[in-house]
Amino acid sequence: MPSAKVLEAKKAQVAEVVEILKAAQTGVLVDYRGLTVDEDTDLRNKLRAANVKYFVMKNTLLRLAADETGLNALDETLHGPTAIAVSSEDAVAPAKVLADFAKGNEKLEIKGGFMDGAVMTLDEIKKLAATPNMETLIAKIMGSLNAPASNLVRLLAAIVDEGVEPAELAAKKQAEGAAEEAPAAEEAAPAAEEAPAEEAKAEEAPAAEEAAPADAE
């Protein structure tokens, strides 16, 4: 039977993991059997770079922590060696890093996971892993927000380069637009001038027809 000191140490471990699970946005459980020391080190480095906490824990203790945080459905995955990766900053990172690593290391098996206090299926974890990470999403959002600003920057640059006031620049742009429309108006003029000549021919035709009977006589 474990001594009181050992029991207190285990309780402290469970309490610590309970706090980690509560603070985590997502967590993914894996079976790491078969990984070499180098492979395990490589995985830990990738997770650390993504600000993901990763640790190995006995199933009995992890089960107690999961039950205390309402993640009882994880119990069925707690068999064999279990490591867990959690993040309180990026909901996508644990699933993405582990899924990417598993593509080249079949020995790493994803067993289960959770998000915002709800247990996920393996299909849901795969979909989460395919989601763009936080940095990519932020870059896309900033790109959308910067589009109007970039137009303003170009306008200000034109004002500075040409040394004119905004009103003068607008008048110049308007004058350039009017100049581009002028050739179209000039091309339409010859067509208008040719129309009277065709009408004149049409008016001369009856005179010729009236002259015909006189010749016949």
- Say if residues 125 and 113 touch (Cβ distance below 8 Å): yes
Q: What does the alpha-carbon distance between residue 83 and residue 52 come to, in Å, rounded to a whole number?
A: 12
Mean pLDDT of the chain, nearest integer: 78
131 pLDDT band (50/70/90 cuts)?
A: confident
The tally of CA atoms less than 13 A away on the side-chain side of residue 133 is 13
- Say if residues 62 and 10 touch (Cβ distance below 8 Å): no
3-class DSSP state of 53: strand
Nearest to 99 by CA among 28, 25, 20: 28
Q: What is the pLDDT of residues 160-199, one digit of tens each?
A: 555 555 555 556 656 665 665 555 555 555 544 554 554 4
Task: Give domain limits for the chain.
Answer: 4-131, 132-186
Domain 4-131 CATH superfamily? Ribosomal protein L10, N-terminal RNA-binding domain (3.30.70.1730)
Report CA-CA distances (Å) from 190 to 1, 185, 193, 203.
110, 10, 5, 21
